[in-house]
Homo-oligomer: A and B are copies of this chain.
Amino acid sequence: MTDRQSRYFVPGPTWVRPEILAEMTRPMMGHRSAEFREVFRRVKGDLKSLFRTTQDAFVSTSSGTGVLEGALLNVVPRRVLVTTCGAFSERWKTIAEQTGVEVDHLDHPWGEAIDPERLATHFAGRRHHYDAVTITHNETSTGVMNDLRALVEVIHAETSDTLILVDAVSSLGSAPILFDEWGIDVCIASTQKGLALPPGLAVFAVSERALAAAKKKPYRGTYFDFLEYKRQGDNDGAPFTPSIPHYFALEKQLDHILREETLDERWERHRKMRDMTLERTAGYAELMSDRTHASVSVSALRPTKRDAQTILSEMRARGFVLGGGYGRWKEESFRIGHMGDISLVALSAMLDVLEEAAQ
* Contact between chains at A222 and B95 (CB < 8 Å): yes
B contact residues around A65 at 8 Å (CB): 222-223, 240-241
Residue-wise, chain A 35-61 has the 8 Å CB interface mask toward B (1 for contact) of 000000000000000000000000001
Q: Which of B98, B201, B240, B242 contacts A222 (CB 8 A)?
A: B98
Min CB distance, A199 to chain B, in Å?
Answer: 5
Answer whether A198 and B21 are a contact pair too, CB < 8 Å, given A14-B28, A28-B16, A95-B222: no
Docked-complex contact A69 and B222, CB < 8 angstroms:
yes
CB atoms of A240 and B98 under 8 A apart = no
Confirm or deny: A270 has a beta carbon within 8 angstroms of a beta carbon on chain B.
no
Instruction: Please report whether the interface of chain A is mostly helix, strand, loop or mixed according to DSSP.
Output: loop
For residue A240, which residue of chain B has the nearest CB? B63
Query: How many copies of this chain sit in the oligomeric assembly?
Result: 2
Within 8 A of B (CB), among A1-35: 1, 3, 8, 10, 12-16, 18, 21-22, 24-25, 27-31, 33
Min C-beta distance of A294 to chain B, whole Å: 22
Q: Is A192 an interface residue (CB 8 A)?
A: yes
Please name all residues of chain B whose beta carbon is closer than 8 Å to the beta carbon of A95 when the two chains form the complex. 222
List, sorted by A's number, 21 A–B pairs whose CB atoms are closer than 8 Å: A3-B27, A8-B28, A10-B30, A12-B241, A13-B29, A13-B31, A18-B25, A21-B25, A21-B27, A24-B25, A24-B245, A61-B63, A63-B240, A65-B240, A66-B240, A98-B221, A98-B222, A99-B219, A198-B245, A200-B200, A200-B242
Question: Which A residues are within 8 Å of any B CB, using their own CB?
Answer: 1, 3, 8, 10, 12-16, 18, 21-22, 24-25, 27-31, 33, 61-66, 69, 94-95, 98-100, 190, 192, 198-201, 219-225, 240-246, 321, 323
Which 5 pairs, one residue from A and one from B, show the smallest C-beta to C-beta distance? A200-B243, A66-B223, A63-B240, A21-B25, A24-B24
